[in-house]
Amino acid sequence: MSEFLPGLEGVAATKSAISFIDGEKGLLSYRGYSLETLAENSTFEETTLLLLQGELPTAKELSDFTKQLRSQYRIKYHIREMMRHFPSTGHPMDMLQTAVSSLGMFYPGNECLTGADTCGDLQYVRNMTVNIIASMAPLVAMWQHMRTGYDPIEPREDLSVAENLLYMFTGKEADPLMAKIMDVCLVLHAEHTLNASTFSALVSGSTLATPYSVISSAIGTLSGPLHGGANSRVVEMLKEIGSADNAEKWIDNALANKEVIWGMGHREYKVKDPRATILHKLVSELIEDRGSSLDTTFETAMKVEEICEDRLGHKGVYPNVDFYSGILYAEMGIPADQFTALFAVARSAGWLAHWREQISDNRIYRPTQIYTGSDLRDYVSLADRTS
């Protein structure tokens, strides 16, 4: 019964109807729709409703949800004042975790989360879901300006989540291709079964903590370099490699020193991550559209992929979602230390879908352990301890 499996690999910790991965075939679906189909046809707003509700929304449901989201882009004055006192060197993920948990003080009401199997107030669940998803992108974009000593840019209710995110970052309306790419990035990162941060959200949710605590736990878990933090490391790594010609030597040296190649490998996929395939295509499209300075980075990335396939493919290690996402964000003018925060913006949809699934049929998480410590022994008073 109590076999220990490091990293809980292969252990089913919940039942879920939200998303599905076939790691051998490289397939990912949300609520039964393939990710390729959603990336092609859907939007972040529609995908979010699909994740939350289980079905594609009607036009009226989507329009109501979009209106609600947009009406809550604005962040409360006191949260903004609190952010002014954060150190400008603070990491965006630490800022986001702190700001999201502080929202809980401004939007109380979790006393309605009671009992084993349901939430007493579905309106609370819906309102908090909208409030958190609407707040994430503005918080991230506001911090970009505040940490450099400027006032944040006010959100615009006539823009989608992706458009408003880019607008609040740059102060300019994004061109349609960039806005579309950002929207696809949000769709691709919105959900991914029971990864470390989602598991963290489930554990917090199972105690009936507020959704703000649930999401701030998940943000903290996502921040680690083995999870969401890998995308900024990829861009740093590609910069260090410098050119496609240098890739082989650099990778062989890193592998000889037992270092990880950032953006490679995934517990679930034994082939190329389908999200990496979609992002790879988007980078190619962007280069084709504007013949940009991305060329060198992209060429280096493709060479790294080729060499890693040769050196690591037999272990089932291929590019994951983080391998190409950083290249796109850098092209949008977003600093590397903000990439993981963008991941969190998107993943808030999946985390909240899992939170809602958890509290609708809840049992507190309380796993066991295999004790490896000492047998019961006598207490020795301080005076009698020799060494």
Contact positions vs ligand COA (CB under 6 A): 7, 226, 230, 260-267, 312, 315, 317, 320-322
Residue 33 φ then ψ, to 5°: -100, 130
- Tell me 373's DSSP state: S
Of the candidates 253, 258, 244, 268, which has an alpha carbon nearest to the alpha carbon of residue 318?
Answer: 268
- The residue from 183, 192, 280, 322 that is catalytic is 322
* Other beta carbons within 10 Å of 280: 19
User: Which residue, judged by CB position, is nearest to ligand COA in the bound state?
Assistant: 265
Provide the sign of the torsion angle of the four alpha carbons 299, 267, 184, 143, taken in this order. Answer: negative
Contact predicate 186/346, CB 8 Å: yes
Within its chain, how far is the Cα of 228 from the centroid? 6
Task: Closer to ligand COA by CB, 30 or 212: give it.
Answer: 30
Q: How far is the CB of 246 from ligand COA (least distance, A)?
A: 18
Task: Closer to ligand COA by CB, 208 or 230: give it.
Answer: 230
99, containing H or E segment: helix 92-106
Task: Closer to ligand COA by CB, 11 or 364: give it.
Answer: 11
User: Which single residue is written with the structure tokens 């910069």?
Assistant: 239
Three-state DSSP state, 25 = coil
Q: How far is the CB of 7 from ligand COA (least distance, A)?
A: 6
Reduced to 3 DSSP states, what percent helix, strand and coil does the chain have, rounded to the nearest 5? Answer: 60, 5, 35
Q: Which residues pair with 29 in a beta bridge?
A: 20, 34
Q: How far is the CB of 267 from ligand COA (least distance, A)?
A: 3
Task: Closer to ligand COA by CB, 80 or 227: give it.
Answer: 227
Residues with Cβ within 8 Å of 126's Cβ and at least 6 positions away in sequence, in order, are none
Q: How far is the CB of 320 from ligand COA (least distance, A)?
A: 4
Of the candidates 353, 344, 360, 331, which has an alpha carbon nearest to the alpha carbon of residue 94?
Answer: 344
- In the residue annotation, 266 being an active-site residue is answered as yes
Task: Closer to ligand COA by CB, 262 or 298: give it.
Answer: 262
Q: Which residues pair with 264 in a beta bridge?
A: 319
User: Which single residue is written with the structure tokens 């590397």?
Assistant: 336
- The residue from 266, 273, 280, 354 that is catalytic is 266
Task: Closer to ligand COA by CB, 235 or 321: give it.
Answer: 321
What CA–CA distance (Å, rounded) separates 318 from 148? 37
- The token pair at 244 is 């496609």
Helices (H) and strands (E) in the chain, counts: 16, 3
Task: Closer to ligand COA by CB, 57 or 274: give it.
Answer: 274
What CA–CA distance (Å, rounded) separates 293 from 295? 5
Contact predicate 271/24, CB 8 Å: yes
- The token pair at 151 is 């006032």
- In the residue annotation, 322 being an active-site residue is answered as yes
Active site residue ranges: 266, 322
